């Protein structure tokens, strides 16, 4: 058992993982079911990036998630599903149920011609069929690409196109709090631009009337009736791609981060069990959406690999009231609860009336992920949700890292509010200065890099390995660069300070400012724009857009009309998550003589801190700054 139980275990594991990574991870990997054992644990090069783990190993990850538990846990709950409507009955799927459903779904995919290596896009709300689809793809060796169901048809189309997907799986519409989201309609719009898609499977969730295109669209329930409940898992290589997940960076279109099979499996289970100290019989709940990496690694794969019980929630934290999370915790006696700081802040603002009426005594561990947690939110979570008895694991990681990287191990690592604390075994962080030199010692700050690969590091970006090398391995030669700033304090504890690139983190969602600018610039009245983040009480960061509009449009339309048009364009291109919080129409942007926008100034103005804007003498037209300051939106 590679379970860490105390600080001594942690120190030993950490030391071994650094001294001999191959031996360490080789031992951890022994716990899994392999069809053929690996020949070599690791081969890698960060300078001309490639990385391979468990080379020559053959396996199927779903046999490790499901089949291997059937002997002892066939009747144990694997997935508990809580629907959006509190009056709709939850459904519990045992390991035997999940096995049956995944095999059936896998057979449906095969019957529509999906083969090993094909890409399948999943665009669904948090329903069990989403988890089954993910696993069904993995079962037959198809590469899943889950697209968060809040993305617009344009965003969906560009991701389907980039992956050249053969199939899309969606639902008629989605319940989301009091609203309904027309998923199939969005898919229809995007499929017009995606000739690669041969089949669209449609889950009937709400029964809302929808268009079904003959020869392309298929009702999932009808297809499932035609197939057997057994499916032999495809033999996969450790390094066969498992999934693509698109994520935003500082430039260009979102990248398809590629994770492979063996290393991802080993690392997600290891971190899940250790960080949450998951014990047999516990009920674990992660409130993320499977559309993000957290849902992949810690709703589906990690918990099922560990033979655990994982809860899936279709709804939102504030409907029908702000006590929804706490009600679900008390109803299912949740033991480990994992959520985002933004949700904590939003619920904290609603007061304690919605908290104190629920019995939260089942909780043992609390977790957070996705953005830095502020001290007030940490304290509130610790005191009012965990009742001062549950350790908080503030887990730092990324889509690219596949699993948690720097995090306390619950009950083992002494926590410190706002600190992700210490690196997990196998993770070798380094702080680098702007010259690329490692900053040693304690009480220091720098750009967070990782020196050595871990099993679930991204392998490439889909269709463009050069982009992967450039984005992550060129800033600092020989290091993986995370894009985050970080502090190492006197105790050697790490605190993540936020992104140092042009990525903003809005309610835990990663958005590239360039991506939002591109969307804004598509609006006919817009000449140019610049987007920056600013501190937002609930969302962590808000989106502030400075936009230059065409003088003719300014004559013709009111400011409100222009702003509305800009906003709608962003929603159309990306989705509601990227809608700017503030739009300031400006006559110019602060540019240097070489044409570079001085974002530092824009950030300061957006923060409301205009007292000291630093040196503006290199600006082409310093008077622009005055006019931007005057029109700033507070
Ligand atoms: C940020 C989410 C502070 C960070 C798993 C990172 C965090 C980005 C934390 C990745 C944390 C994630 N404390 N910041 N505990 N966790 N971040 O790819 O900036 O959606 O680079 O992965 O979120 O976001 P992503």
What is the per-residue pLDDT across 485-497, written as a single tens digit (0 to 9) for each?
999 999 999 999 9
Assess whether the C-beta atom of 397 lies below 6 angstroms from ligand 1.
yes
Is the pLDDT score of 612 beyond 60?
yes
Assess whether the C-beta atom of 401 lies below 6 angstroms from ligand 1.
no
What is the per-residue pLDDT across 219-261, written as a single tens digit (0 to 9) for each?
999 999 999 999 999 999 999 999 999 999 888 889 999 999 9
Angstrom distance (rounded) from CA 268 to CA 301: 7
**Which are the contacts of 86, defined by CB distance < 8 A and separation ≥ 6?**
320, 324, 327
What is the per-residue pLDDT across 339-382, written as a single tens digit (0 to 9) for each?
999 999 999 999 999 999 999 999 999 999 999 999 999 999 99
Distance 520 CA to ligand 1 centre (A): 25
Structural domain boundaries, residue 112? 27-340
Angstrom distance (rounded) from CA 450 to CA 595: 34
Q: What is the mean pLDDT of residues 500-528?
A: 96
In this structure, what token pair is assigned to residue 343? Answer: 């949700």
Q: What is the mean pLDDT of residues 11-39?
A: 98
Tell me what pLDDT residue 365 has.
Answer: 98
What is the per-residue pLDDT across 571-594, written as a single tens digit (0 to 9) for each?
999 999 999 999 999 999 999 988
pLDDT above 70 covers a percentage of the chain that reads 100
Q: Is the pTM of this model over 0.95?
A: yes
Angstrom distance (rounded) from CA 256 to CA 248: 9
Give the domain-ending residue among 323, 340, 357.
Answer: 340
CATH of the domain at 598: 3.30.300.30
Please write down the HEC assignment for all residues of 539-603. Answer: CEEEEEEEEEECHHHHHHCCHHHHHHHHHHHHHHHCCHHHCCCEEEEECCCCEECCCCECHHHHH
Confidence label for 11 from pLDDT (cuts 50, 70 and 90): very high
Distance 631 CA to ligand 1 centre (A): 33
Assess whether the C-beta atom of 247 lies below 6 angstroms from ligand 1.
yes
Does residue 415 form part of some domain? no
**Which are the contacts of 265, defined by CB distance < 8 A and separation ≥ 6?**
32, 59, 61, 64, 301, 305
Confidence label for 608 from pLDDT (cuts 50, 70 and 90): very high
Does residue 422 form part of some domain? no
Q: What is the mean pLDDT of residues 385-404?
A: 98
Confidence label for 55 from pLDDT (cuts 50, 70 and 90): very high
Is the pLDDT score of 621 beyond 60?
yes
Is the pLDDT score of 418 beyond 90?
yes
Does residue 33 form part of some domain? yes
Tell me what pLDDT residue 336 has.
Answer: 99
Does residue 71 form part of some domain? yes
Does residue 489 form part of some domain? no
- Report the DSSP pairing between strands 167-171 and 119-123: parallel
Does residue 376 form part of some domain? no
460-489 core/surface letters (b: 16 or more CB in 10 A; e: else): bbbeeeebbbebbbebbeebbbbbbbbbbe
What are φ and ψ of residue 190, in 5° steps?
-75, -30
Assess whether the C-beta atom of 148 lies below 6 angstroms from ligand 1.
no
Tell me what pLDDT residue 564 has.
Answer: 98
Does residue 359 form part of some domain? no
Domains identified in the chain, total number = 2
Does residue 349 form part of some domain? no
CATH of the domain at 79: 3.40.50.12780
Give the domain-ending residue among 340, 371, 389.
Answer: 340
Tell me what pLDDT residue 1 has.
Answer: 57
Distance 396 CA to ligand 1 centre (A): 6
Tell me what pLDDT residue 2 has.
Answer: 82
Give the domain-ending residue among 306, 340, 374.
Answer: 340
What are φ and ψ of residue 283, in 5° steps?
-110, 125
């Amino acid at each position: 058992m590679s379970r860490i139980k105390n600080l001594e275990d942690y120190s030993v594991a950490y030391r071994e993982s650094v001294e001999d990574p191959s031996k360490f991870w080789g031992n951890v990997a022994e716990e899994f079911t392999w069809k053929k054992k690996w020949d070599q644990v690791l081969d890698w090069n960060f300078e001309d990036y490639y990385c391979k783990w468990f080379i020559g190993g053959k396996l199927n990850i779903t046999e490790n998630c499901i089949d291997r538990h059937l002997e002892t846990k066939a009747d144990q709950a694997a997935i508990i599903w809580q629907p959006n409507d509190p009056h709709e009955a939850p459904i519990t799927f045992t390991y035997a149920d999940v096995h049956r459903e995944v095999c059936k779904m896998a057979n449906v995919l095969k019957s529509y011609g999906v083969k090993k290596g094909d890409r399948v896009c999943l665009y669904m709300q948090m329903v069990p069929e989403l988890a089954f689809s993910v696993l069904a793809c993995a079962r037959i060796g198809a590469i899943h690409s889950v697209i968060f169901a809040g993305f617009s048809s344009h965003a969906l189309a560009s991701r389907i196109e980039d992956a050249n997907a053969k199939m899309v799986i969606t639902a008629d519409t989605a319940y989301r709090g009091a609203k309904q989201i027309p998923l199939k309609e969005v898919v229809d719009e995007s499929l017009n631009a995606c000739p690669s898609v041969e089949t669209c499977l449609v889950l009937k969730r709400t029964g809302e009337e929808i268009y079904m295109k003959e020869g392309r669209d298929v009702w999932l329930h009808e297809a499932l009736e035609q197939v057997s409940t057994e499916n032999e898992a495809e033999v996969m290589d450790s390094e066969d791609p498992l999934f693509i997940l698109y994520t935003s960076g500082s430039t260009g279109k979102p990248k398809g981060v590629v994770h492979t099979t063996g290393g991802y499996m080993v690392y997600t289970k290891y971190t899940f069990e250790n960080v949450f100290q998951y014990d047999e019989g516990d009920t674990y709940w992660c409130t993320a959406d499977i559309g993000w990496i957290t849902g992949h690694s810690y709703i589906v794969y990690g918990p099922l690999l560990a033979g655990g019980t994982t809860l899936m929630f279709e709804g939102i934290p504030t409907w029908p009231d702000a006590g929804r999370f706490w009600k679900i915790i008390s109803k299912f006696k949740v033991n480990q609860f994992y959520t985002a700081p933004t949700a904590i802040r939003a619920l904290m603002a609603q007061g304690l009336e919605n908290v104190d009426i629920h019995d939260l005594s089942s909780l043992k561990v609390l977790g957070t992920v996705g953005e830095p947690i502020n001290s007030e939110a940490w304290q509130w979570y610790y005191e009012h949700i965990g009742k001062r008895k549950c350790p908080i694991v503030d887990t730092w990681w990324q889509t690219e890292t596949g699993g948690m990287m720097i995090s306390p191990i619950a009950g083992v690592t002494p926590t410190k509010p706002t600190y992700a604390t210490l690196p997990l075994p196998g993770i070798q962080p380094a702080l680098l200065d702007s010259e690329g030199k490692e900053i040693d010692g304690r009480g220091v700050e720098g750009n967070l890099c990782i020196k050595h690969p871990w099993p679930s590091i991204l392998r490439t970006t889909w269709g463009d390995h050069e982009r992967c090398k450039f984005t992550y391995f060129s800033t600092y030669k020989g290091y993986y660069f995370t894009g985050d700033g970080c502090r190492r304090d006197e105790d050697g504890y790490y605190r993540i300070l936020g992104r140092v690139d042009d990525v903003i983190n809005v309610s835990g969602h990663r958005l590239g400012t360039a991506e939002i600018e591109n969307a804004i610039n598509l609006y006919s009245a817009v000449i140019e724009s610049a987007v920056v983040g600013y501190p937002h009480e609930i969302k962590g960061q808000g989106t502030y857009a400075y936009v230059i509009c065409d003088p003719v449009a300014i004559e013709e339309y009111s400011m409100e009309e222009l702003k509305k048009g800009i906003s709608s364009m962003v929603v159309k291109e990306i989705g509601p998550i990227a809608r700017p919080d503030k739009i300031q129409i400006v006559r110019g942007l602060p540019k240097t003589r070489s044409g570079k926008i001085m974002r530092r100034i824009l950030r300061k103005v957006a923060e409301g801190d205009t007292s000291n804007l630093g040196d503006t003498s290199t600006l082409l037209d310093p008077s622009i700054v005055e006019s931007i300051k005057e029109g700033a939106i507070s």
